[in-house]
Amino acid sequence: MNISLQTGELLHTLSDFAVLAAFSDIPLPSDVAELFVAEDFTAAAGQTLLLYPRGVVAARRLLLVGMGSSSSVTADTFRRAGALAVQQARSVQASALTAGYEGSIAVPFRDSAQAFVEGLELGGYRFLRYRTGLTAAQTFDVTDAVLVVRPKNAAAVQSGISAGQAISRGVNFARDLVNEPGSAVTPARLGEEAQALGARLGLAVTVLDKPALIAQGFGGILAVGQGSANEPRFIVMEYGNPGTGKPTICLVGKGITFDSGGLSIKPADGMEKMKNDMAGSAAVFGLMQTVAELKLPLHVVGLVSSAENMPSSTAYRPGDILTTLSGKTVEVLNTDAEGRIALSDALFYAQRYHPEAIIELSTLTGAMVIALGSQTTGVMGTNEALVEAIRSAGEATSERVWPLPLWPEYFDMIKSEVADIKNIGGRPAGSITAGAFLASFTGDYPFAHLDIAGTAFLDKASKPYEAAGATGVGVRLLTEYLRKLA
Ligand code: BES
Ligand code: MN
Ligand code: ZN
């Protein structure tokens, strides 16, 4: 979408589709109040009313979007409003909209503009690539939006627009990768996506294929991928340079392009959703793109362990003992606990950058879906300040995270008799023992693990800017974290 800024007043601006954010405790501008309304439209958050002003104001259509009371408005209210606006404009086939508001509220213009733009771009997202025979109405897209603001707020709003666009492009890129079927997004394809991203944004990209993984001893990724004809990859994407006083952050993503469970095979019911088992890596791709577009003054290294977990005569077995890249041996008790095994190589690899923080995202455990549902991502970390910074970024972006402990007792639960560590710790604390497994490969570096098993993929949207399917979770969250750090 082309999104730009215009100075002036919304109601005096010619427009096919004007969007006015209305607050329940701030009177509507008098021209609008004269039109009618008031009675049924209370400007409650999420309420909308589409008007045809017939010359009373300059716009042909005027959409009132309720924001609730000015004191309770947050950035997320604007994000929801942007999504409602684009969806309503689309439903009447208006290809361009203008938007603005009057009155003073506590959210800074920069943040409200960013969130509104995110709402426009995220709320307009659809995955239609594989649908044929759609009508023009079904594929109709809003192509242009103009934010109408007072001159004194123009600079702040322009900066919000740029940030909102860079962030939502990253989210929608991640959503596309996850929504694609496992047959299309293989480990090799993720490697190609990384190369393309690198070429487009000037990132240094390295993709290790199977022979390279064998030569360099990536025993975890290789074991998980050995049952599939789609060979595994390890992907390194580097933005910025080390050694210039800029903090180095490693972002690590789980890129299991399909998780059948392997020989410890999953039940058929719901297995189709396991194409989303590369959502952590998709978030890393989206983040690398967003960070590069925002030109953040940081050194960010994206690391992806990618494999397909399949049962076959070449698959790894329960009872196998693997040597990971770190040299640590792993007893495999369940081939469906594959993410932690593949990730162990990436987490160990991350240490070579001596990073300020290693932040890892993975659809790691079903237990996390049970614990926190689809609303909240679980975070586990070895550094309290890091966990708190991520939690607070979650509040700011409404991609909420909640901490679980990684106390030493949990590490005891994954000790093995025959190897250094075993890949499952039993049903109790299933998400935490998985986190403890990961933390066993990050040395003394500050580490945070985000378990996005519940938040990466939705059966049903519950907010206007969501859609069924991939969410792109992690991109908004960690962009916020990285911008605060920069
Ligand atoms: N990818 C799954 C976890 C998952 C479950 C993601 C539901 C999204 C939705 C992971 O590889 C897995 O299979 N975990 C097992 C671990 C168990 C065998 C210890 C699980 O959670 O059941
Ligand atoms: Mn699994
Ligand atoms: Zn998995």
Model confidence pLDDT, tens digit, residues 290-304: 999 999 999 999 999
| Residue 474 backbone zone (phi > 0: left; psi -120 to 50: alpha; other: beta) | left
Ligand nearest to the CA of 276: 1
Task: Take residue 372 and report the two structure tokens written for it.
Answer: 């926190």
Largest interatomic CA distance in the chain? 81
Task: Decide if pLDDT at 39 tops 80.
Answer: no
* pLDDT, averaged across the chain: 97
**For residue range 409-434, what is the model confidence (pLDDT) as tens digits?**
999 999 999 999 999 999 999 999 99
| Residue 433 backbone zone (phi > 0: left; psi -120 to 50: alpha; other: beta) | alpha
* Residue 293 parent element (H or E): helix 279-294
Res. 102 pLDDT band, cuts 50 70 90: confident
Mean of pLDDT values over 84-88: 98
pLDDT given at position 374: 98
Q: Ligand 1: which atom is nearest the Cα of residue 425?
A: 19
Q: Ligand 1 centre and the CA of 194: distance in Å? A: 26
Which residues does 99 contact at the CB level (< 8 Å), separation at least 6? Answer: 10, 18, 19, 20, 21, 82, 85, 116, 145, 146, 147, 148
Q: What amino acid is encoded at 192 in this protein? A: E
Measured from the CB, is residue 338 less than 6 Å from ligand 1?
yes
Catalogue the active-site residues.
Answer: 266, 340
Say how far apart CA 424 and CA 336 lie, in whole Å.
10
Measured from the CB, is residue 260 less than 6 Å from ligand 1?
no
**For residue range 248-279, what is the model confidence (pLDDT) as tens digits?**
999 999 999 999 999 999 999 999 999 999 99
What percentage of the chain carries pLDDT values higher than 70? 99
Measured from the CB, is residue 343 less than 6 Å from ligand 1?
no
pLDDT given at position 35: 74
User: What residues does the ion ligand 3 have nearby, CB within 5 Å?
Assistant: 256, 259, 277, 339
Measured from the CB, is residue 451 less than 6 Å from ligand 1?
no
Of 335, 336, 377, the residue with max ligand 1 atoms within 8 A of its CB, to mutate for a pocket test, comes to 336
pLDDT given at position 19: 98
Say how far apart CA 70 and CA 107 lie, in whole Å.
9
Closest residue to atom 9 of ligand 1, CA basis: 453
Measured from the CB, is residue 365 less than 6 Å from ligand 1?
yes
Closest residue to atom 17 of ligand 1, CA basis: 337
Closest residue to atom 7 of ligand 1, CA basis: 366
Lowest-confidence region among 40-44, 187-191, 308-312, 444-448? 40-44
Mean of pLDDT values over 18-39: 85
Res. 364 pLDDT band, cuts 50 70 90: very high
Contact 425, 433 (CB under 8 A): yes
pLDDT given at position 55: 84
What percentage of the chain carries pLDDT values higher than 90? 94
CATH code for the structural domain at 182-485: 3.40.630.10
Say how far apart CA 334 and CA 139 lie, in whole Å.
44
2-167 domain in CATH 3.30.450.20?
no
Q: Ligand 2 centre and the CA of 224: distance in Å? A: 10
Measured from the CB, is residue 259 less than 6 Å from ligand 1?
yes
pLDDT given at position 29: 86
Closest residue to atom 16 of ligand 1, CA basis: 337
Measured from the CB, is residue 453 less than 6 Å from ligand 1?
yes
Task: Decide if pLDDT at 74 tops 90.
Answer: yes
Map out the domains of the chain as residue ranges.
2-167, 182-485
Q: Are strands 377-381 and 457-458 parallel, antiparallel or unpaired?
A: unpaired
**For residue range 145-203, what is the model confidence (pLDDT) as tens digits?**
999 999 999 999 999 999 999 999 999 999 999 999 999 999 999 999 999 999 999 99
Task: Decide if pLDDT at 244 tops 80.
Answer: no
Q: Ligand 1 centre and the CA of 338: distance in Å? A: 8
pLDDT given at position 36: 66
Ligand nearest to the CA of 363: 1
Measured from the CB, is residue 112 less than 6 Å from ligand 1?
no
Mean of pLDDT values over 88-97: 98
User: What residues does the ion ligand 2 have nearby, CB within 5 Å?
Assistant: 259, 336, 338
Res. 38 pLDDT band, cuts 50 70 90: low
Q: DSSP 3-state assignment of 145? A: strand
Contact 52, 127 (CB under 8 A): no
**For residue range 330-345, what is the model confidence (pLDDT) as tens digits?**
999 999 999 999 999 9
pLDDT given at position 103: 83
Q: Ligand 3 centre and the CA of 117: distance in Å? A: 33
